[in-house]
Amino acid sequence: MSGSRAPDALWFPGASLGVVMLVTTAFLAVGQFATREQIAQAQSDDTRLQLEQILPAGYADNNLLTDTLQLAGPDGAPLTVHRARKQGVLRALLFEMSGYGYGGRIVLLMAVDVDGRIVGVRVTKHNETPGLGDKIEVARHDWIRFFDGKSLQQPAPARWAVKKDGGDFDQFAGATITPRAVVATVKKGLEFLAAHRPELTAEASGEAVPVSGEKP
């Protein structure tokens, strides 16, 4: 009788360990899924906030996250273009454009109206020198607001440069590379938009809605 119990005595601990491992794995899988969902939601919320903050208050009333188009960007990589509408009328296009400054890659969020005029530009990522190059951040300096209202015609293409290079845009004392990179990147964004304007504004109709409110 004792001989028949020995296999049972060995089987039960093994089975218990297997159940524990299975349950643990299931909990980990659920936890990872929940974490991914939370991260995705946080990223979505952050993107939505950035899109809304670059536009004047009341400028658009559509869902900027879902009203999008996918195009190949200047570097060939997929680029998402968000469309801002007011009462169904297309008013502006929002997209990211990147260049390289003193500290590496600089990512800009641009909003440009259907006539090619800049509504706003904001820096979303950079590694520029604190106290010098970081003046490209709107929270630290108003320099980035100088792009508002500009287009490829105003100023003329040759004037799309910092003043040190014969252009219209200020550079920072001790930090010319950073503003030079931002100016070049904004110009690249306008050129990209001009090249793809027919497909990006194909749904535009009606009269432009007057801008109201101020950007933060």
DSSP per position, 59-114: S--S-TTTSEEEEE-TTSSEEEEEEEEETTEEEEEEEEEEEE-SSSEEEEEEEEET
d(CA 28, CA 12): 24
Confidence at residue 8, expressed as pLDDT on a 0 to 100 scale: 55
Indicate the range of 1-5, 23-27, 72-76, 161-165 predicted with least confidence. 1-5
216 vs 103: which has the higher pLDDT: 103
pTM for the complete prediction? 0.76
Structure tokens at 57: 């208050």
Instruction: Give the helix ranges, DSSP H, for the chain.
Output: 2-54, 177-195, 197-200
Strand partners, 80: 70
Confidence at residue 208, expressed as pLDDT on a 0 to 100 scale: 39
Cβ neighbours of residue 13 closer than 8 Å, sequence gap 6 or more: none
